């Protein structure tokens, strides 16, 4: 009887299923532990070995905490709405509903094989109507709320209406997209309903507005900023252009400050916090108004350098800025129009790649310097972005490199305001080591002093004020796509109106043609029988009602991140039909204790989730305002792609080391064709792709080698390693331990097969230790102290490492432990029992099997087994010094002036040290100050 992992793993996986071992208890008298993975998109490719990395880590924690008598919530589900699922469906020409189901089934099979302890009774799918009902419900809450700046929280829109009724916009402190509006309470009451609604729309947290959006024609939809990487779409890499469209947006900007500040409350990686801070992009400066000469218009600019106000020699507006049309002089009208037209045609990608190109035109208008009254020419140029600040800058060529370049290019004067600093070749943009000149009352001051003085001056004179600006834009929330949550809004006289929370869910209709359209009209428009009747207040999806009583529904759907922004709360109470999460459940579970997932979600999912969390907290729907206490970014497991080389223009392939002297083409081949020495199996290669049948292979020493390159793991790169294959060959326990052993969880690391045999042979060794002569046997008597020491040492190490999420060192500790026990020939029951428990989070199947061989029922269910707690073992270990490899460390009172002989005597006679030195010969005693000595045996 050898270690038959297949038999063992099937046996226990079936047992866990039948036993419902991992179902979360409802008993709430135990402390809770909520450990969560970022739920996957069920894409068509299935899981590769990179996906389970984080799941293994959380599974270890979940199983470990169960042993520690925690009530553990460890759920899993699928983020099944959104672009990835839909793109896959389109590529394979199937309905997304169908592909999603097929993909989920495949994912589940793969996950089950790895022995995860998920509570599947709580599975959720964002595309199921009993889930997205609540996504829509949260949307309606956002729609029915506004942000009160003074109280610094979201409030029901009815509060705002009351405020308008009483005082109009006087004393108003609410976030909105139009700040110029002013009216009295009397005026408000006289407005028509339609006008009132239009005004309110500008204050809602989910609002509809005409905005500049990123339009991706190839995907047929708009994209949020974080869905664009380097000017092209994250999905598919298609080009993106700016376009004005009427879109739903989320007022995340209102939460900017809280999203930054509350990062201090959570234990998340610093790098991730930094990313979020950069993304929100807070900057402190001033808002300054410049009047336009001979006109009533004025230009508001934001600047972080109001101290350089006297260095302004021109102004630049973004081409999209609406004021351009109002101030452009007649003589410049044609060139300005032409410029605006040409810059709007450029895609985001072009704009990025042409950043060095300086372009712009003069508008013919002049602004008046608010202090010295100078006339300042107003230009437009596309280095000024419409989306940031006010879409206008005061250009200070001596203090900003871009302004400097622009001024040089168009021969605009450059005024130097920095004392003894040469700005003839480039701008001086440092905020330190300068004194101002040519700046009237700011002369001689440094940055800090002049900043304060100018702010107080402009505030006193009333042409500006101190201002904090954020880079983050409100998030565009509409997608012109089929596979997403329908937005539960209908249009009454053109005014977006809630369909009513009690009418949810608004189900996604079946349509014949779900493909996106290039003109941006949503596919939901293809639903022939999808309308909403105001008569019975019900969604009628089966028949069309006559025109009078039917209002058009919103046809856009929600973006992929909608459903994923709150799913962690649904797991707490997944079957609740009355509420998105029940009170009792949410007050018990509160928040996620440990969240594990990739850092690629830093500025998307994780930021939006924090936003929704704070919103729901403001409405008293949740007890905490951060959803995850601790977060770990697991590093990606990279693939190691294989290439072979063909001499250019021939059909001759050369082994890796023979290609020095001629030009070659590198051809990607499937990694399964190589062995672990990068040797290519040519027969397999020919079988894989028949094109190689005709090729000649030039070998070195009878072998043909390929070269490797580390890349992201993906199907198209032929470098995918499937976990099923590893499970088949080595077993799930080996896979789990090996993935942990590969390196620190947070680190990106290439997959390699070379170490897996070491982990596998460790499990083999463990098995053999308790199966001398192939029969299970344990000794019932007491082992030597040596074996206890090994056990205690291991317990200490594993406990510490798990608490530090350092799983790679855990695996090492296990290996050392089993090696030592093997040497000691220690197969005593009293050692094996705790060892089995200790091992079970890492290699659950084999430990279950050993546990059952010991005559126990299941080591994994805390109710059935006394809590595993290392503290009693730690008591005894305190009296043992920890010895690694014959080195021992003590703290003793030793005078540094003593001779080595005297020190040796002290060591030998000390009650603590002598106990452990025993009969061993001391090789060396190393004394360092602070009373520490190291003894080498």
Does residue number 934 form part of the binding site for RNA (CB under 7 A)? yes
- Which of 43, 744, 917, 922 is close enough to bind RNA by CB under 7 A? 744
- Which of 384, 475, 644, 726 is close enough to bind RNA by CB under 7 A? 384
**Residue 674 DSSP class:** B
Closer by beta carbon to RNA, 68 or else 351: 351
Q: How far is the CB of 311 from RNA (least distance, A)?
A: 11
Does residue number 598 form part of the binding site for RNA (CB under 7 A)? no
Nearest-angstrom CA–CA distance, 303 and 393: 7
Q: Which residues of 387-418 are buried (b: 16+ CB within 10 A; e: fewer)?
A: ebbbbbbbbbbbbbebbbbbbeebebebbbbb
Q: Which residues of 679-689 are buried (b: 16+ CB within 10 A; e: fewer)?
A: ebebeebbeee
Q: Which residues pair with 285 in a beta bridge?
A: 467
Does residue number 285 form part of the binding site for RNA (CB under 7 A)? yes
**CB 927 within 8 Å of CB 896:** yes
Does residue number 748 form part of the binding site for RNA (CB under 7 A)? yes
In the region spanning residues 141 to 200, those forming contacts with RNA, defined by CB under 7 A, are none
In the region spanning residues 317 to 376, those forming contacts with RNA, defined by CB under 7 A, are 318, 351-352, 354-355, 357
Does residue number 914 form part of the binding site for RNA (CB under 7 A)? no
Q: How far is the CB of 178 from RNA (least distance, A)?
A: 19
Closer by beta carbon to RNA, 352 or else 544: 352
- Which of 383, 477, 483, 595 is close enough to bind RNA by CB under 7 A? 383
Does residue number 278 form part of the binding site for RNA (CB under 7 A)? yes
- Which of 124, 299, 361, 815 is close enough to bind RNA by CB under 7 A? 815
Nearest-angstrom CA–CA distance, 689 and 905: 75
Q: How far is the CB of 358 from RNA (least distance, A)?
A: 8
DSSP string across 159-178: HHHHHHHHHTTTT--B--S-
- Which of 45, 245, 385, 853 is close enough to bind RNA by CB under 7 A? 385
The stretch among 17-25, 93-101, 784-792, 920-928 that binds RNA (CB under 7 A) is 920-928
Q: How far is the CB of 753 from RNA (least distance, A)?
A: 8
The stretch among 409-417, 595-603, 610-618, 729-737 that binds RNA (CB under 7 A) is 595-603
Nearest-angstrom CA–CA distance, 596 and 602: 12
Q: Which residues pair with 35 in a beta bridge?
A: 594
Q: How far is CA 510 from the centre of its chain?
A: 32
Q: How far is the CB of 845 from RNA (least distance, A)?
A: 19
Q: Which of 27, 357, 348, 66 is nearest to 215 (CA)?
A: 348
Nearest-angstrom CA–CA distance, 594 and 873: 27
- Which of 233, 450, 599, 609 is close enough to bind RNA by CB under 7 A? 599
Closer by beta carbon to RNA, 490 or else 738: 738
Does residue number 747 form part of the binding site for RNA (CB under 7 A)? yes
Q: How far is the CB of 747 from RNA (least distance, A)?
A: 5
CA distances (Å), 214 to each of 84, 87, 211, 245, 605, in order? 18, 18, 10, 9, 19
Q: How far is the CB of 9 from RNA (least distance, A)?
A: 19
Interface pattern 762-781 for RNA (x via CB under 7 A): x-xx----------------
Q: How far is the CB of 595 from RNA (least distance, A)?
A: 18
Strand (E) positions, 713-851?
749-750
Using alpha carbons only, give the angle 377, 378, 381 rounded to the nearest 5 degrees.
130
Q: How far is the CB of 238 from RNA (least distance, A)?
A: 16
The stretch among 68-76, 594-602, 716-724, 897-905 that binds RNA (CB under 7 A) is 594-602
Q: How far is the CB of 137 from RNA (least distance, A)?
A: 30
Using alpha carbons only, give the angle 772, 777, 779 rounded to the nearest 5 degrees.
110
Does residue number 924 form part of the binding site for RNA (CB under 7 A)? yes
Give the orientation angle of helix 96-113 with respect to helix 83-92, to 10 degrees: 110
Closer by beta carbon to RNA, 13 or else 609: 609
Query: What dihedral do alpha carbons 175, 181, 182, 187 form, nearest 10°?
Result: -110
Does residue number 275 form part of the binding site for RNA (CB under 7 A)? yes
Cβ-defined contacts of 154-158 (< 8 Å, 24+): 154/205, 154/254, 154/615, 154/618, 154/619, 155/618, 156/619, 157/200, 157/203, 157/204
Closer by beta carbon to RNA, 28 or else 928: 928
- Which of 69, 159, 822, 852 is close enough to bind RNA by CB under 7 A? 822
Does residue number 936 form part of the binding site for RNA (CB under 7 A)? yes
Does residue number 545 form part of the binding site for RNA (CB under 7 A)? no
Going by DSSP bridges, is the β-strand pair 71-73/32-37 parallel, antiparallel, or unpaired? parallel
Q: How far is CA 917 from the centre of its chain?
A: 52
Q: How far is the CB of 389 from RNA (least distance, A)?
A: 3
Does residue number 885 form part of the binding site for RNA (CB under 7 A)? yes
Does residue number 474 form part of the binding site for RNA (CB under 7 A)? no
The stretch among 129-137, 269-277, 435-443, 504-512 that binds RNA (CB under 7 A) is 269-277
In the region spanning residues 630 to 659, those forming contacts with RNA, defined by CB under 7 A, are none
Closer by beta carbon to RNA, 662 or else 884: 884
In the region spanning residues 863 to 882, those forming contacts with RNA, defined by CB under 7 A, are 882
Nearest-angstrom CA–CA distance, 303 and 307: 9
DSSP string across 75-120: ---B--SSHHHHHHHHHHTS-HHHHHHHHHHHHHHHHHHTT----G
Does residue number 283 form part of the binding site for RNA (CB under 7 A)? yes
**CB 436 within 8 Å of CB 213:** no
Strand order in the sheet with 550-551: 538-540, 531-533, 550-551
Does residue number 426 form part of the binding site for RNA (CB under 7 A)? no
- Which of 229, 333, 468, 698 is close enough to bind RNA by CB under 7 A? 229
CA distances (Å), 157 to each of 146, 160, 293, 324, 613, in order? 6, 5, 41, 35, 19
Q: How far is the CB of 421 from RNA (least distance, A)?
A: 18
Closer by beta carbon to RNA, 271 or else 518: 271
**CB 113 within 8 Å of CB 724:** yes
Closer by beta carbon to RNA, 391 or else 516: 391
**CB 234 within 8 Å of CB 82:** no
Q: How far is the CB of 801 from RNA (least distance, A)?
A: 8
Nearest-angstrom CA–CA distance, 238 and 215: 10
- Which of 130, 714, 819, 852 is close enough to bind RNA by CB under 7 A? 819
Nearest-angstrom CA–CA distance, 381 and 343: 9
- Which of 238, 297, 388, 688 is close enough to bind RNA by CB under 7 A? 388
Q: How far is the CB of 469 from RNA (least distance, A)?
A: 7
Q: How far is the CB of 53 from RNA (least distance, A)?
A: 13
Q: How far is the CB of 728 from RNA (least distance, A)?
A: 17
Does residue number 400 form part of the binding site for RNA (CB under 7 A)? yes
Nearest-angstrom CA–CA distance, 244 and 814: 60
Does residue number 807 form part of the binding site for RNA (CB under 7 A)? no
- Which of 774, 886, 898, 908 is close enough to bind RNA by CB under 7 A? 886
What is the enclosing helix (H) or strand (E) of 215? strand 206-216
DSSP string across 47-60: --TTTHHHHHHHHH
Does residue number 742 form part of the binding site for RNA (CB under 7 A)? yes
CB within 8 Å of 366: residues ≥ 6 apart: 292, 293, 375, 376, 377, 378
- Which of 270, 536, 780, 893 is close enough to bind RNA by CB under 7 A? 270
Query: How many residues interact with RNA (rule CB under 7 A)?
Result: 84
- Which of 33, 146, 215, 302 is close enough to bind RNA by CB under 7 A? 302
**CB 626 within 8 Å of CB 262:** yes
């Amino acid at each position: 009887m050898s270690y038959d992992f297949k038999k063992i793993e099937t046996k226990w996986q079936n047992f866990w299923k039948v036993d419902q071992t991992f179902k979360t208890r409802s008993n709430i008298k135990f402390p809770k532990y909520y450990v969560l993975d970022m739920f996957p998109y069920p894409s068509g490719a299935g899981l590769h070995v990179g996906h389970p990395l984080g799941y293994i880590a959380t599974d270890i924690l979940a199983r470990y905490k169960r042993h520690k008598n925690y009530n553990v919530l460890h759920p899993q589900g699928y983020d099944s709405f959104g672009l990835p699922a839909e793109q896959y469906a389109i590529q394979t020409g199937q309905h997304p509903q169908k592909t999603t189901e097929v993909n989920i089934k495949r994912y589940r099979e793969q996950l089950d094989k790895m022995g995860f302890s998920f509570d599947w009774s709580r599975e959720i799918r964002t595309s199921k109507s009993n889930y997205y009902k609540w996504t829509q419900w949260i949307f309606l809450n956002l729609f029915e709320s506004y942000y009160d700046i003074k109280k610094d929280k979201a409030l029901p829109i009815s509060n705002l209406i009351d405020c308008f009724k009483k005082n109009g916009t006087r004393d108003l402190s609410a976030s909105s997209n139009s700040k110029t509006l002013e009216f009295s309470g009397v005026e408000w009451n006289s407005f028509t309903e339609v006008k009132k609604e239009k005004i309110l729309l500008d204050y809602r947290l989910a609002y509809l507005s005409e905005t500049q959006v990123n339009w991706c024609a190839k995907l047929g939809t708009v994209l949020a900023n974080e869905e664009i990487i380097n000017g092209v779409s994250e999905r598919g890499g298609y080009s993106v252009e700016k376009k004005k469209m009427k879109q739903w947006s989320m007022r995340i900007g209102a939460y900017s400050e809280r999203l930054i500040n509350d990062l201090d409350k959570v234990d998340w990686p610093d790098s991730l916090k930094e990313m979020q801070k950069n993304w929100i992009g807070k900057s402190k400066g001033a808002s300054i108004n410049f009047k336009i000469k001979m006109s009533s218009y004025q230009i508001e600019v934001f600047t972080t350098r109001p101290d350089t106000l006297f260095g302004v020699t021109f102004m630049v507006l973004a081409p999209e800025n609406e004021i351009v049309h109002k101030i452009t002089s007649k003589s410049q009208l044609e060139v300005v129009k032409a410029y605006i037209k040409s810059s709007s045609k450029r895609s985001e990608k072009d704009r990025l790649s042409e950043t060095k190109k300086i372009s712009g035109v003069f508008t013919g208008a002049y602004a008046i310097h608010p202090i010295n009254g100078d006339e300042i020419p107003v230009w437009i140029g596309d280095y000024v972005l419409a989306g940031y600040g006010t879409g206008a800058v005061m250009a200070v060529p001596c203090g900003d490199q871009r302004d400097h370049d622009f001024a040089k290019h168009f021969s605009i004067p450059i005024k130097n305001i920095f004392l003894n600093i040469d700005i003839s070749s480039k701008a001086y943009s440092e905020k330190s080591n300068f004194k101002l000149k040519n700046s009237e009352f700011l002369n001689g001051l440094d940055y800090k002093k002049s900043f304060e003085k100018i702010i107080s001056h402009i505030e006193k004179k009333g042409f500006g004020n101190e201002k904090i600006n954020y880079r983050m834009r409100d998030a565009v929330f509409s997608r012109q796509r089929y596979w997403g949550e329908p937005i539960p809004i209908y249009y009454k006289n053109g005014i977006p109106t809630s369909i009513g929370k009690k009418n949810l869910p608004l189900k996604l209709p079946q349509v014949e043609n779900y493909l996106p359209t290039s003109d941006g009209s949503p596919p939901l428009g293809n639903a022939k029988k999808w309308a909403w009747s105001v008569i019975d207040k019900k969604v009628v999806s089966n028949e069309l009602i006559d025109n009078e009583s039917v209002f058009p529904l919103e046809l856009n759907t929600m973006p992929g991140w909608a459903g994923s922004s709150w799913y962690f709360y649904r797991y707490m109470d997944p079957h609740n039909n009355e509420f998105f999460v029940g009170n009792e459940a949410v007050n018990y579970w509160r928040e996620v204790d440990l969240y594990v997932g990739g850092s690629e979600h830093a500025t998307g999912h994780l930021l939006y989730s924090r936003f929704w969390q704070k919103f729901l907290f403001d409405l008293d729907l949740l007890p905490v305002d951060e959803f995850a206490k601790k977060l770990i970014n697991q590093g990606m497991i990279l693939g190691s792609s294989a290439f072979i080389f063909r001499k250019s223009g021939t059909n001759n392939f050369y082994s890796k080391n023979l290609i020095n002297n001629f030009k070659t083409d590198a051809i990607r081949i499937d990694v399964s064709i190589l062995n672990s020495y990068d040797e290519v199996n040519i027969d397999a290669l020919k079988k894989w792709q028949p094109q190689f049948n005709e090729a000649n292979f030039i070998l070195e020493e009878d072998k043909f080698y390929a070269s490797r390159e580390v890349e992201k793991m993906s199907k198209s790169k032929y470098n995918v390693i499937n976990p099923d294959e590893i499970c088949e060959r080595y077993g799930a326990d080996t896979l789990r331990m090996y993935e942990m052993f590969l390196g620190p969880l947070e680190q990106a690391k290439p997959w390699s097969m070379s170490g897996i045999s070491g982990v596998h042979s460790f499990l083999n060794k463990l098995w053999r230790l308790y199966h001398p002569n192939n029969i299970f046997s344990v000794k019932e008597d007491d082992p030597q102290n040596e074996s206890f020491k090994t056990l205690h040492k291991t317990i200490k190490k594993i406990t510490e490492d798990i608490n530090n999420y350092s799983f790679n060192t855990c695996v090492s500790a296990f290996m050392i432990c089993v090696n030592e026990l093997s040497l000691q020939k220690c197969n005593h029951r009293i050692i094996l029992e705790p060892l089995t428990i200790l091992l079970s989070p890492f290699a659950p199947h084999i430990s279950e099997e050993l546990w059952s061989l010991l005559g126990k029922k299941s080591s994994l269910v805390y109710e059935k087994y006394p809590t595993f707690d290392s503290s009693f073992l730690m008591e005894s270990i305190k009296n043992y010094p920890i010895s690694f490899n014959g080195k021992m460390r003590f703290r003793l009172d030793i005078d540094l002036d003593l001779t080595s002989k005297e020190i040796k005597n002290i060591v030998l006679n000390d009650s603590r040290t002598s106990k452990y030195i025993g009969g061993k010969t001391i090789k060396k005693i190393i004394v360092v100050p602070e009373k520490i000595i190291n003894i080498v045996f």
